Structure 1
Amino acid sequence: MQRILSRVKLGAAKCSRLLSSVSVRSTLSYNIHVRLSTTSGRSPPPAPTKPSPFLTARNAAKLGVLTACAGVMYYVTRPNSSQTAEKTSSQVHGEQLTEQQINSILKANEQSFAVDMKTLFAADISDSEAGHKGLRKWIPAGKGRESVELPVTMTPVIAYHLNQVASNQPIEDYHSEHRHRNGVILGVFDGHSGTECADVLSKYLGVYVAKAISELPACNETPERKKHVTHALKTAFNRMDADITNGGIDPDPSVPQNERIQAALRPAIAGSCAIVAYMEGRDLYIACTGDSRAVVGRRRGDGSFEAVPLSEDQTTANPAEHARLLEEHPHERDTVIVRGRVLGGLMPTRAFGDSRYKWPAEDQQALRVRQHRANYHTPPYVTAEPEVTHYEIDPTADKFLILATDGIWDRLSNEQSVELVAGYMQRHALVPDAPTVGASLLEEATRAGDQWSWIDDNAATHLIRNALGRGNPFMISTLLKIQPPHSRRFRDDMTANVVFFGASEPAEQVGERFAALGSVERKAFQDVDLSRAEPKRHRLRLWVQALQSQQSTAGKTSMAASKL
């Protein structure tokens, strides 16, 4: 046996030398390679010549030797299939994570904020700007303090709980929270094909929304205001995507000069869904691009809760989106939707970035983007324009808003999520005279033979824990143990923002109850920096033209050389 292994090693060494004589060009399936350097001074490679019969025979002999060596190596060194199966089984079903380890993972990114209500009113807002809603009394806690008269346009947000649990490495979900004058802008961004697009959205989209809102004409009529805000949100989303896909977002200053073009284009190659909530007073606007969701938890007269969805998943499973794609591409009815995906590749029908579904084919060729669609005829196939929903918050009934990426909604329904948060509020005395958890949730858990978990102080963590495994620590442990990239087959990145409303009673009292939960930070929303929304220079055409010129010059040089 020792002699056989010795010969195998000798054969492997010969195989290595033979392989080294073969030139193999590897290609990257995703990375974009953009080079603007000149090709002057470089000679094109000589045209390949037809091999002689001798070379053909020699290469065939080499192939035979390689095949034989590979066969010997495989049968001597192949792993035992039963051992492999046993190892895989032990990784999933073996030693489980402890409760402390599970909590360490689930709570690593959780954040709980009790909002200082006074900071949500900008004193420089004139009554004429906010007067279309009139005024209301707000009484701060504390004896001897006079009541303060504030516009009702002050948002009813009193607290919000955030959390993220990654499946991808690094996580591709991002979020943002901003204040603009007397409004609040919250966003959740579900990236795909990389982190770059969602990262840009978290830094810029809220600012673009604030800029568009600030440019609206003064209007005291509520219907007109709704129409203007809806248009402003669509304008902000479309402008953001135009800047991303046209190379208008400058990369970080730390990026080396020779890599800045690639860095500027990466957000365009990657993609992201987005759901943004804009609140001014009781007016809540939800702008949705993709398949993240927004759901309001509304308390009925009998004390139970109902889920009020404020967005629809924008995929081909949505009849309206399916019909829109067919209408926009009437001559591609058999190819625009394949296996439930846009051109057979992309699940959401609306997204930021994803320029492989937007750029002309010739631009992608010039930029050396992997061209992967045979039936690519009439781009763009994907849009970032959102569907906008307006909802007037009822301070006596509406208790919270859930913004979450599809990693949550893949595992929880709207109704389950609302009942989980409602039960959370009851257990922490955050809603007066709250009912027990809805009967439907309890009946479902009983049928499934398990129960829901109620151990978290953070409502977003509470949602994520129950999405992963309800009250089953074994299931949660099993899912969390699977490492990237394999974990993506079983769970997606999860991000949730649970926003609590408190307009039905003195805000200070509700805020104090949230602050009493522990590990809660009092926080004022950060003001947006409108300078970040200044017009951007679109450089994509310049880069494409330069590359096309470069490729044309190289082609002419190659033709001239072939005639010599």
Structure 2
Amino acid sequence: MHSPNISLFWSTFIKLDIGSKQKLISSYRSGYRVEQWTLSGYIPYTRLFHSSRVTNQIQKDGAAVLPSPQEVTIILRKNEFNKEFPSGSVKSYDSNQLASNDPIEDTRSEGKCKLTPGKFAGLLMGVFDGHGGPACAQVISKRLLNYIAAALLPVDLVNNYIKQEHKERLVETYNDRADIVPDLKVIYENSFNQYMSNLASTAKPEIDVKASFEKGILQLDNDLSREVLEPFKADGAINPKTLSVALSGAVACISYIDGPHLYVANVGDCNAVIGTMTEDNEWVAKKITKEHNTENLDELKRIWSEHPDDERKTVIRRDRLLGELAPLRSLGDYRYKWPAEILSTVAVPLVGPKAIPANYHTPPYLTARPDVYYHRLTPKDKFLIMASDGLWDMITPLQAVKLVGEHMKGKVFFNPLKLPRKNIQLGDINELLLHRKESLKSKPKDRNAATHLIRHAIGGTEYGVDHSRLAHLLSLSSDVSRMFRDDMTVIVAYFDSEFIRQCPT
């Protein structure tokens, strides 16, 4: 779901006192109901937005005090992570997340394929933007990399994996902070084992990466449905946990980097952008993905072609699918995929009549089928930015690339000074120190490039980062914050230009 443009409210809002802000927000949000799912068990509930709390502001003598620059930095850096690699086409990556919703509906996952054959160890990275609650995004972030890694295996390795008593991990994940509740874990393991058995009978000796992406994504999406419907058809039982995962949804952007080969699969409205340096030392943003939303004419034509002409005015309304959903492709979201009869018997008893959207005549209206893009990396390609639309709502791809490019130049000053050679003259040392002193003016506040992007996306102006603006926006509670910005998840992967230069064409 796209956030309103921040400039729409900001010039007026920032000038108001706290009481006036509360009145403005309460009148705007009064009576607005949304559906959420809890983190621990993914159980659906509804809540009424009525509060206009300002959570991070401190009351002092009756007046609100904004977070200091140091407190703002603590908030921004809470979820940042960095991983370095000793060899390969990716030198390192930075990641970070900043919540707007409570709980955050974005997730991310990164890992290295352990069993994939080949000279280069393939790196998988994914950004997942949930809606209708965090359940679907959290589940696919834990499962999807394994589904894709399995599809990348030739049939002999699939069979070897099936025969193992103690299964090897297909993906070595990094920064994996959450776990699936035990009863769901058993269900998911059974689904994955069945998926591997199917792969054993259909896998081919030669791997098609694009086909593997599509197979893994579609199979996981299908499993989200089957895990609800099979028990229901067997004994009429409805598991509210699997149902909440299937009824919430998530868009996804996943990259696979294998030596000089970059593949990006996209479902929905996250985006991936490459930062490239030209011969003239100018930054260029190469946008790899295309959003699946109403701004994509080809996507609109696809949806219109899949439904009768008399639904043309209802299938897309108010720039949303059936007037409700902003992304036009996603995982989960079975409110837009199941037949109406299934929704009536499975979803309506738990969620209510609104489980069936208006004008719901010829489902499915939604697909999880990805668009998969290929790019052959060159030494001029310096980094890849993957992010949820919370970032892209705030800054353009070129702005993001320039910010990371400037950050690359400035972050070298986080490292101690090293003399370029032995027996250097004192005069040369003095000149080196003077140059470093002058260059330190461009040193960024954050070592992590993902944090750097989030800081500038929220607080950036044409004159730099405005602390007051940044502090105000970080002070708002979740029910207010969504008026101004969405959850943000950012991954920045740095390429090793020399390694890529030496890769065979």
Q: Give the aligned partner of residue 485 of structure 2.
A: 491
Q: 1:211 to 1:158 in 2, by over 3 A?
A: same
Moved segments of 4+, more than 4 Å: 28-32, 248-251
Q: Which residue of 2 aligns with 1:355?
A: 334
Q: What one-letter code is carried by the residue in structure 2 that aligns with 1:109?
A: N
Whether the 8 Å CA contact 1:453–1:462 is kept in 2: the answer is: no
When residues 371 and 218 of structure 1 are mapped into structure 2, their CA distance, relative to the original with a 3 A threshold, is: closer
Is the contact between residue 399 and residue 501 of structure 1 (CA under 8 Å) also seen in structure 2?
Answer: yes
In the alignment, does 2:402 pair up with 1:423? no
- CA deviations on 1:248-286 (whole Å, 9 max, x unpaired) are 6999xxxxxx99811111110110000000111111000
**2:473 matched to 1:476?**
no
Aligned to 1:158: 91
Paired residue secondary structure (2:94): strand
Matched, 1:170 2:153: no
Kindly indicate whether the alpha-carbon contact (under 8 Å) linking 1:193 and 1:271 is maintained by their aligned counterparts in 2: yes
Q: Within 5 A, what are the aligned runs for 1:122-137?
A: none
From the superposition, tell whether residues 109 and 30 of structure 1 become closer, same or farther in structure 2 (CA, over 3 Å).
Answer: closer
Deviations 1:280-301 (A, max 9, x none): 1111000000100000001101
Which of these two proteins has the greater Rg computed from alpha carbons?
1
C-alpha deviation, 1:403, in angstroms: 0.6
- Is residue 157–residue 500 contact of structure 1 (8 Å, CA) maintained in 2? yes
Larger strand percent: 2
Pairing 1:204–2:198 present: no
1:365 aligned residue (319, 340, 344): 344
Match of 2:241 in 1: 263
> Secondary structure of 1:205's match?
helix
2:86 matched residue in structure 1? 116
**Is 1:184 equivalent to 2:162 in the alignment?**
no
AA aligned to 1:398 is D
In 1, the alpha carbon distance for the partners of 2:237 and 2:80 equals 34
SS in 1 for 2:138: helix
For residue 451 of structure 2, what is the aligned residue in structure 1?
A: 461
- Once the two structures are superposed, the pairs formed by residues 395-406 of structure 1 within 5 Å of their partners are 396-406=379-389
Q: Which residue of 2 aligns with 1:100?
A: 70
Partner of 1:284: 262
Q: Distance in 2 between matches of 1:463 and 1:200?
A: 26
1:32-43 equivalences under 5 Å are none
Tell me the residue number matched to 1:408.
391
Uncovered stretches (5+) of structure 1, i.e. residues with no partner: 1-27, 33-83, 118-154, 220-224, 252-257, 431-451, 508-564
Partner of 1:266, secondary structure, is helix
> Is the counterpart of residue 343 in structure 1 residue 322 in structure 2?
yes
Residue type at the aligned position of 1:184: L
> Unaligned 5+ residue runs, structure 2?
1-32, 38-51, 155-202, 414-441
Q: Is the 8 A contact 2:101 2:479 kept in 1?
A: yes
In structure 1, the residue matched to 2:217 is: 237
Q: Structure 1 393/248 Cα, relative in aligned 2: closer, same or farther at 3 Å?
A: farther
2:247, 2:333 within 8 Å by CA — same for their partners in 1? yes
Q: Is the 8 A contact 1:407 1:492 kept in 2?
A: yes
**For the residues of structure 2 that align with 1:336 and 1:296, how far apart are their CA atoms?**
34
3-state SS in 2 of match to 1:423? helix
| Whole-angstrom distance in 2 between the partners of 1:214 and 1:301 | 39
1:350/1:105 CA distance change after superposition, 3 Å: same
Q: Matched residues in 1 for 2:34 and 2:138: separation? A: 22
Q: TM-score, normalised by structure 1?
A: 0.59
Q: Please state whether the residue corresponding to 1:427 is helix, strand or coil.
A: helix
Across the aligned residues of Structure 1 and Structure 2, the Cα RMSD in angstroms comes to 3.0
**Aligned partner letter, 2:341:** E
* 1:9-42 superposed Cα distances (whole Å, 9 cap, x missing partner): xxxxxxxxxxxxxxxxxxx97489xxxxxxxxxx
Quickly say closer, same or farther: Cα 1:186–1:506, change in 2 above 3 A: closer
In structure 2, what is the equivalent of residue 374 of structure 1?
A: 358
SS of the residue 1:401 aligns to? strand
Deviation of 1:338 after TM superposition, in Å, equals 0.2
Instruction: Spell out, residue by residue over 1:140-170, the C-alpha distance to the aligned partner (whole angstroms, 9 max, x if none).
Output: xxxxxxxxxxxxxxx4011000100100111
Residues 456, 90 of structure 1: CA spacing in aligned structure 2 closer, same or farther, 3 A cutoff?
A: closer
Q: How many residues align?
A: 355
Write the distance in 1 (CA, Å) between the matches of 2:321 and 2:293. 9
% identity of equivalent residues = 38
State the distance in 2 between where 1:250 and 1:467 align: 45
Compared CA separation, residues 229 and 482, structure 1 to 2 (3 A): same
Question: What's the CA shift for 1:492?
Answer: 0.5
Contact 1:250 1:264 in 2 (8 A): no
Shift of residue 506, structure 1, vs aligned partner: 10
In 1, the alpha carbon distance for the partners of 2:80 and 2:265 equals: 25
In structure 2, distance between residues paired with 1:404 and 1:98: 27
Which amino acid letter does the alignment assign opposite residue 99 of structure 1? P
Q: What is the CA-CA distance between 1:218 and the residue it aligns to?
A: 4.1
CA distance in 2, matches of 1:31, 1:408: 22
Shift of 1:115: 1.6
Q: Which amino acid aligns with 1:161?
A: D
In structure 1, give the amino acid aligned to 2:226: N
Q: Hey, what's the Cα distance between the residues in 2 that align with 1:191 and 1:466?
A: 23
The SS at the match of 1:419 is helix
Distance 1:485 1:429 in 2: 39
Give 3-state SS (helix, strand or coil) of 2:272's partner.
strand
Quote the offset at 1:453 in angstroms.
9.4
Aligned mates of 1:454, 1:176 — CA distance in 2: 26
Once residues 226 and 388 of structure 2 are traced to their aligned partners in structure 1, the CA distance between those partners, rounded to angstroms, is 26
Q: Deviations over 1:400-445 (max 9, x none)?
A: 0001000000001000000000000111249xxxxxxxxxxxxxxx
SS of the residue corresponding to residue 186 of structure 1 reads: strand
**Letter of the 1:233 counterpart:** F
CA contact (8 A) 1:453 1:465 kept: no
Instruction: State the SS of the aligned residue for 2:227.
Output: coil
Is 1:298 matched up with 2:276?
yes
Distance in 2 of aligned mates of 1:351 and 1:330? 22
**Do the aligned partners of 1:357 and 1:380 also contact (CA within 8 Å) in 2?**
yes
Q: Distance in 1 between matches of 2:325 and 2:141?
A: 22
**Shift of residue 104, structure 1, vs aligned partner:** 1.1
Contact 1:287 1:386 in 2 (8 A): yes
Contact between 1:299 and 1:399, CA under 8 Å: does it hold in 2?
yes
Q: SS at the partner of 1:294?
A: strand
> In the alignment, which of 391, 411, 415 is matched to residue 375 of structure 2?
391
Could you tell me how far 1:380 is from its partner in structure 2?
0.9
Task: Read off the aligned partner of 1:496 and give its amino acid letter.
Answer: V
State the Cα distance separating 1:303 from its structure 2 match. 1.0
TM-score, normalising length: structure 2:
0.66
* 1:301-312 alignment, distance < 5 Å: 301-312=279-290
Matched residue type, 1:349? L
